[in-house]
Structure 1
Amino acid sequence: MRIAKKPMARMVASVVGALALLTTGAVTAPMEAHAASLGRACMFEAPRGAYGAGHAAFAIKVRGEANHWIYGSFGSTNDGPVAGWIKGGSWEKTRAHFTSVRDKDHNNARYYTRYRCVNTRDGDAKRAQSWYGAVKRRGYNAATNNCLHMSMAVFKGYSEILRKDKRLESATGNTPNQYYTKVLPAARWEVSHQL
Structure 2
Amino acid sequence: MTQVTAPVIGALALLSTGMVTAPVKAEAATLGRVCMFEAPRGAYGAGHAAFAIRDRSDTRRWTYGSFGSTNDAPKSGWIKSGSWDSVRQHFISVRDKDHNNARYYTRYRCVNTRDGDLKRAKSWYTTVKNRGYNVTTNNCLHMSMAVFKGYSETLRKDTRLKSATGWTPNNYYRDVLPAARWETSHSL
Q: 2:77 matched to which residue of 1?
A: 84
Q: 2:89 matched to which residue of 1?
A: 96
Q: 2:149 matched to which residue of 1?
A: 156
Q: 2:17 matched to which residue of 1?
A: none
Question: 2:165 pairs with 155, 159, 172, which one?
Answer: 172
Q: Secondary structure at the match of 1:44?
A: strand
Question: What's the Cα RMSD here?
Answer: 2.1
Sort the Cα spacing of 1:88 and 1:2 in 2 relative to 1 into closer, same or farther, 3 A.
farther
TM-score (norm 2): 0.86
Could you give the per-residue CA deviations for residues 65-115 of structure 1, whole angstroms, max 9, x where no partner exists?
130000000010000111000000000000000000000000000000000
Q: 1:75 matched to which residue of 2?
A: 68
1:23-102 equivalence runs, <5 A: 34=28, 37-102=30-95
Distance 1:166 1:63 in 2: 24
Please identify which structure carries the higher helix content.
1
Cα shift at 1:143 = 0.3
Distance 1:2 1:168 in 2: 64
Distance 1:76 1:154 in 2: 17
Distance 2:142 2:161 in 1: 12
Percent identity over the alignment is 75
Gaps of 5+ in 1: 6-28
Distance 2:81 2:153 in 1: 22
Could you give the per-residue CA deviations for residues 32-82 of structure 1, whole angstroms, max 9, x where no partner exists?
x75x71100000000000000000000000002130000000010000111
1:107-122 equivalence runs, <5 A: 107-122=100-115
Question: What is the one-letter code of the residue matched to 2:172?
Answer: Y
Could you give the per-residue CA deviations for residues 128-148 of structure 1, whole angstroms, max 9, x where no partner exists?
000000000000000000000
